[in-house]
Structure 1
Amino acid sequence: MTIPGDAENVAEARRFVVKLLGAGHRDIETSRLLLSELIGNSIRHSASGRGGSVTVAVLDVGGALRVEVADGGGETVPCLCSRGELLESGRGMKMVDAMASRWGFTRDSTVSSTTWFELPNTWSSLS
């Protein structure tokens, strides 16, 4: 699914994941939370938040649930940045790192980026 790179469209992406997984899926809340973080980062830190769009993909990767967020690229890449613990921002990727079994990003030659996370053995539990 592709949405405009505006914060008000994050809820639409969360509904998309709920629809795909089913409201009773055991990892729905974790998926929604981590998806919100990745989309928020794309909107804040990439060209997608300046009139572009964000694409969300939900995949089965060897039985694991993988959620990808592709954006227009930016000057920085996702990191586990060490910022002050009392600051309002800068801890989101640490949350992704703690809650996902794996995460990462790719950047292609056109500078667009895809950030993703995986939750283990959850795809096979889809209803």
Structure 2
Amino acid sequence: MPAAKQAPERLRVPHQSGAPGQVRRWLRDALPDLPEEVRDDLLVCATELVSNAVRHARPLPGGDLCVVYTLGSADVEVRVVDGGSRTHPHVCAVNLDSAHGRGMFIVSKLSTDWGARTLGDGTQEVWARIPLR
């Protein structure tokens, strides 16, 4: 693994239901040397972040979302930037019978750290760091 963080890589995807699949394929192709269990955790976290953006947030002005990853010496970070939302991502109490509400709980368990912030232009950025183990 690299000794320092590499320059971030970006992908813009349409703000629609097919976006998580596009992001999974992109990350799988872009990071073939990650250990399988790390890549699996990254793909799950990225899928949850993108799915939440499609479900709960507005698109960016071009009608899309921006997904960024940065590979560091201890972790890989994934960020999703959307057009903003009236809600702020949070971990819900888990109800295993519910079809919704488990995404950020899953992200919180697979990542060493995660967060969300609203940027000055009203866009929102949600991120997670997955350890390289």
TM-score by length of 2: 0.81
Select 2:98's aligned residue among 67, 72, 87.
87
| Whole-Å separation in 1 of the counterparts to 2:95 and 2:122 | 29
Unaligned runs of 5+ in 1: 123-127
| Whole-Å separation in 2 of the counterparts to 1:109 and 1:24 | 34
Unaligned runs of 5+ in 2: 1-10
Counterpart of 1:12 in structure 2 is 22
TM-aligned CA deviation for residue 46 of structure 1: 0.4
Counterpart of 1:34 in structure 2 is 45
The sequence identity of aligned pairs, in percent, is 24
**Greater helix fraction, Structure 1 or Structure 2:** 1
Counterpart of 2:66 in structure 1 is 55
Matches for 1:61-76 after TM superposition, within 5 Å: 61=72, 63-76=74-87
| Whole-Å separation in 1 of the counterparts to 2:58 and 2:44 | 22
Deviations 1:69-123 (A, max 9, x none): 111111001001236442210111001101111111121122211111111246x
1:9 partner letter: A
TM-score by length of 1: 0.84
Question: Does structure 1 residue 112 correspond to structure 2 residue 123?
Answer: yes
**Count of aligned pairs between the two proteins:** 121
| Whole-Å separation in 2 of the counterparts to 1:62 and 1:106 | 24
Q: Which runs of 4+ in 1 moved over 4 A?
A: none
